[in-house]
């Protein structure tokens, strides 16, 4: 012990060999490649959940607008369907016809974006396809009002149905 047995011997200290490092890197690559499809699936599920929520919010707001027209709280002309003229009306609000002060009725705090849209240059309302009241359901067309909305994406969802048919 007196002659330096506590000092490290360079030949006895050992690090990782190149083979061990390559094995660790290969295991890490396999784990990463297995996690990537799971991440993509989770990401797609999140977008689909956001799409369902956005569609539900807008459709409920359109229905509430129509109920307001039917109840006489929103003024309309005889030749109008009673649905909002544009999606932005749901956020901007409309005057309450029964309120003496004509305060506005609001149906949405904000208009959600279609999460399946990749064009960032579109407005929130521009991301949605719009169907007018007089438009057939199998061939939706825009018109003087907004009766329904749909995603413009024709990609298939995880359930096999294209997003524009949701």
Contact 142, 130 (CB under 8 A): yes
> Closest by alpha carbon to 47, among 165, 126, 149, 153?
153
The string of pLDDT tens digits covering residues 63-102 is 999 999 999 999 998 888 999 999 999 999 999 999 999 8
Confidence (pTM):
0.76
35 occurs within a structural domain: yes
67 occurs within a structural domain: yes
111 occurs within a structural domain: yes
12 occurs within a structural domain: no
Structurally, the chain folds into a number of domains equal to: 1
31 occurs within a structural domain: yes
Domain that holds residue 67: 18-165
Contact 158, 44 (CB under 8 A): yes
Buried b (16+ CB within 10 A) or exposed e, 57-96: bbeebbeebbebbeeebbebeeeebbbbeebebbeeebeb
The string of pLDDT tens digits covering residues 6-52 is 555 555 567 788 888 899 999 998 888 887 888 888 889 999 999 99
4 occurs within a structural domain: no
The residues that bridge with 162 in the sheet, in sequence order, are: 156
């Amino acid at each position: 012990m007196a002659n330096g047995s506590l000092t490290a011997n360079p030949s006895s200290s050992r690090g990782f060999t190149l083979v061990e490092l390559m094995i660790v890197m290969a295991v890490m690559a396999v784990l990463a490649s297995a996690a990537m499809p799971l991440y993509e699936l989770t990401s797609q599920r999140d977008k689909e959940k956001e799409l369902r929520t956005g569609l539900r919010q807008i459709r409920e707001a359109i229905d509430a607008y129509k109920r307001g027209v039917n109840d006489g709280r929103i003024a309309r002309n005889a030749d109008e369907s009673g649905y909002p003229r544009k999606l932005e009306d749901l956020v901007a609000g409309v005057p309450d016809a029964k309120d003496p002060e004509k305060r506005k009725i609001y149906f949405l705090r904000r208009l959600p974006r279609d999460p399946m849209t990749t064009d960032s240059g579109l407005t929130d309302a521009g991301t949605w396809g719009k169907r007018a009241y007089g438009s057939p359901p199998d061939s939706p067309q825009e018109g003087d009002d907004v009766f329904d909305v749909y995603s413009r994406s024709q990609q298939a969802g995880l359930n096999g149905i294209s997003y524009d048919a949701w």
